[in-house]
Amino acid sequence: MILPNELVPDFTFKKLNGGVGQLRDLKAEKLLLVIVYRGFHCPICRRYLGQINARLEDFRQLGVEVLVVSTDSRERAQRTKNEWQVDQIDLAYELSIESARRLGLFISRAKDSAEPEIFAEPGLFILRPDQTLFASSIQTMPFTRPSIDELYTALQYILEKNYPARGDA
């Protein structure tokens, strides 16, 4: 488990808009929000990414950069982009299972033919510009993720009040 104020392990991903990225190369003015979604097979992820897509510019205006990534293949990520109409998000894909485990994410095996053989369950990480963990939310299944609107309001408060990371004792 990564504790608040600890450095988040680096990982590599590919981007639909081109290129390979690494967490270490991402820059954020105030905070970096890393959202790991289950993949194309997940209808709850579809709704969640739609909410992120609608608020993406609001997050950026706060100084919060957003990375949305999954363990999906390029083909499945492209289907996500096309069929879910998440045009504002530069989707990232091919987060390795090993990297997902280092992040503390839960890993599932397919329960039906629509799911990939193995994939990461959802996680949300808020990182400071130095890539230390501020906060996280990790789930064992698609349910109970933080509301995007509530997250936005919380980030406003955190930034306005210089609220400290909690849970590092």
Per domain, the residue ranges of the chain are: 12-161
**What does the DSSP 8-state code read for residue 136?**
E
Domain 12-161 has CATH 3.40.30.10: yes
For the segment 107-120, what is each residue's pLDDT rounded down to a tens digit? 999 999 999 999 99
For the segment 12-51, what is each residue's pLDDT rounded down to a tens digit? 999 999 999 999 999 999 999 999 999 999 999 999 999 9
In angstroms, the Cα distances linking 50 to 45, 110, 127, 159 are: 8, 24, 22, 24
For the segment 64-103, what is each residue's pLDDT rounded down to a tens digit? 999 999 999 999 999 999 999 999 999 999 999 999 999 9
* Statement: the pTM of the whole predicted model exceeds 0.95: yes
Distance CA 16, CA 69 (A): 10
- Residue 152's SS3 state is helix
